[in-house]
């Protein structure tokens, strides 16, 4: 998942560079750069190149890396590698077994080196990452840690807010959309941005699903926090017919606690939040989400 910590977006090159640098710096924001051991250095290099691999190779490589990281000595580098791998492991469908190995590796690394509380008293991002895998990707995982319990509680509270959420936004054609007015339809909300490569990768699948199921009352609303001057030229080069809504003030992004994109939420015809993703999804994964709302 690509993290979004400010209203201004960097180009893809800078995002990839930032992701690479993140592997070398502790999650708590220390200025001291990690020095990889001889065992850790090649694993860090493979992580930086993971997005370039074909999906089938990437799945196998991800699982192998999880096992390799698990065997490392309990160093700050091991924990950072486990966290970095977990952050990349949900960008598509790499299989439940792969995600389980990733979660087991991150849990082990956190047991070996418990981390301090995050900024403003929030759970450390590493515990939130593990909690997200457990809650949203159906993997097994637990830690005898107050921070892990706090992370799970935060995710539950965030979902409760999303269940109650309502908003009105305007699409690029000037039509206003209000979430609660769509009661009786299946609604898929997709938070995205033009600069986000995983977002761009899943757009053709969303378009295909929209054309296939719109007669079954499927509504897809894509929400970007950019302005029309950025979004219109981007869409002009693509065949996207589902509504694209603008949230330049990020009020709806903040309402849904969006800290990384793409994120997708599915509401059933009764307005119940029945499925969500924490990263890019494949068409197969989108179909599984829609099935929970009664669309097959």
Q: How confident is the model at residue 26 (pLDDT cuts 50, 70, 90)?
A: very low
Q: Which residue has the higher pLDDT, 23 or 74?
A: 74
Give the burial string for 116-131 (b: 16+ CB within 10 Å, else e).
eebeeeebbbbbbbbb
**pLDDT tens figures, 52-76:** 999 899 999 999 999 999 999 999 9
C-beta neighbour count of 40 within 10 angstroms: 22
Q: Does residue 106 carry a pLDDT above 50?
A: yes
CATH number corresponding to 168-291: 3.40.30.10
Phi, psi of 90 (to 5 degrees): -105, 10
Q: Does residue 21 carry a pLDDT above 50?
A: no
What is the predicted pLDDT for the residue at 259? 87
The single residue listed with the structure tokens 């192998």 is: 64
Domain boundaries, the chain: 9-159, 168-291
- Per the rule left: phi > 0, alpha: psi between -120 and 50, beta: everything else, 33 is beta
* Average pLDDT of the chain, as a whole number: 89
Instruction: Determine what percent of the chain is predicted with pLDDT higher than 90.
Output: 82
Q: Which pair of structure tokens corresponds to residue 144?
A: 């005898």
Q: Does residue 17 carry a pLDDT above 50?
A: no
Give me the residues paired with residue 3 across strands.
260
C-beta neighbour count of 211 within 10 angstroms: 13
Rounded average pLDDT over 161-168: 96
Q: How confident is the model at residue 1 (pLDDT cuts 50, 70, 90)?
A: low
Rounded average pLDDT over 6-23: 40
**pLDDT tens figures, 239-281:** 999 999 999 899 999 999 998 899 999 999 999 999 999 999 9
Instruction: Determine what percent of the chain is predicted with pLDDT higher than 70.
Output: 89
Of the candidates 263, 265, 218, the one whose C-alpha atom is nearest the C-alpha of residue 241 is 218
What is the predicted pLDDT for the residue at 2? 63
Rounded average pLDDT over 129-137: 95
Is the full-model pTM beyond 0.75?
yes
Q: Does residue 115 carry a pLDDT above 50?
A: yes
Of the candidates 158, 211, 210, 160, the one whose C-alpha atom is nearest the C-alpha of residue 189 is 210
What is the predicted pLDDT for the residue at 141? 87
Q: Where are the beta strands (DSSP E) in the chain?
A: 2-3, 168-170, 176-178, 186-192, 218-224, 244-246, 260-261, 263-267, 273-277
**pLDDT tens figures, 196-234:** 999 999 999 999 999 999 999 999 999 999 999 999 999
How far is residue 17's CA from residue 138's CA, in Å, rounded to a whole number?
A: 31
Q: How confident is the model at residue 29 (pLDDT cuts 50, 70, 90)?
A: very low
What sign for the dihedral angle of Cα 3, 164, 188, 167?
negative
Q: How confident is the model at residue 119 (pLDDT cuts 50, 70, 90)?
A: confident
Q: Does residue 167 carry a pLDDT above 90?
A: yes
What is the predicted pLDDT for the residue at 28? 39
């Amino acid at each position: 998942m690509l993290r979004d910590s400010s209203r201004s977006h960097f180009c893809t090159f800078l995002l990839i560079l930032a992701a690479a640098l993140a592997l070398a710096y502790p999650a708590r924001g220390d200025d001291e750069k990690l020095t990889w051991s001889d065992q850790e250095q090649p694993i860090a290099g493979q992580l930086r190149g993971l997005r370039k691999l074909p999906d089938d190779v990437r799945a196998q490589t991800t699982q192998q890396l999880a096992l390799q990281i698990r065997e490392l000595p309990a160093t700050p580098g091991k924990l950072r590698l486990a966290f970095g791998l977990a952050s990349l492991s949900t960008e598509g469908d790499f299989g439940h077994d792969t995600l389980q190995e990733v979660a087991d590796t991150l849990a082990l690394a956190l047991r070996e080196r418990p981390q301090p509380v995050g900024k403003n008293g929030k759970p450390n991002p590493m515990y939130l990452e593990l909690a997200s895998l457990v809650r949203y990707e159906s993997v097994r995982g637990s830690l005898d840690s107050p921070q892990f319990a706090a992370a799970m509680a935060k995710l539950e509270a965030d979902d409760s807010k999303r269940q109650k959420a309502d908003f009105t936004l305007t699409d690029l054609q000037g039509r206003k959309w209000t979430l609660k007015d769509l009661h009786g339809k299946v609604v898929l909300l997709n938070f995205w941005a033009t600069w986000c490569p995983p977002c761009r990768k899943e757009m053709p699948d969303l378009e295909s699903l929209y054309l296939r199921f719109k007669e079954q009352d499927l509504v897809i609303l894509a929400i970007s926090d950019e302005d029309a001057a950025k979004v219109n030229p981007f869409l002009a080069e693509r065949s996207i017919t589902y509504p694209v809504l603008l949230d330049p003030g990020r009020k709806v992004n903040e309402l849904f606690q969006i800290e990384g994109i793409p994120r997708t939420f599915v509401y059933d015809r009764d307005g119940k939040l029945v499925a969500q993703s924490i990263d890019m999804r494949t068409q197969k994964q989108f179909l599984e989400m829609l099935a929970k709302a009664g669309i097959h």
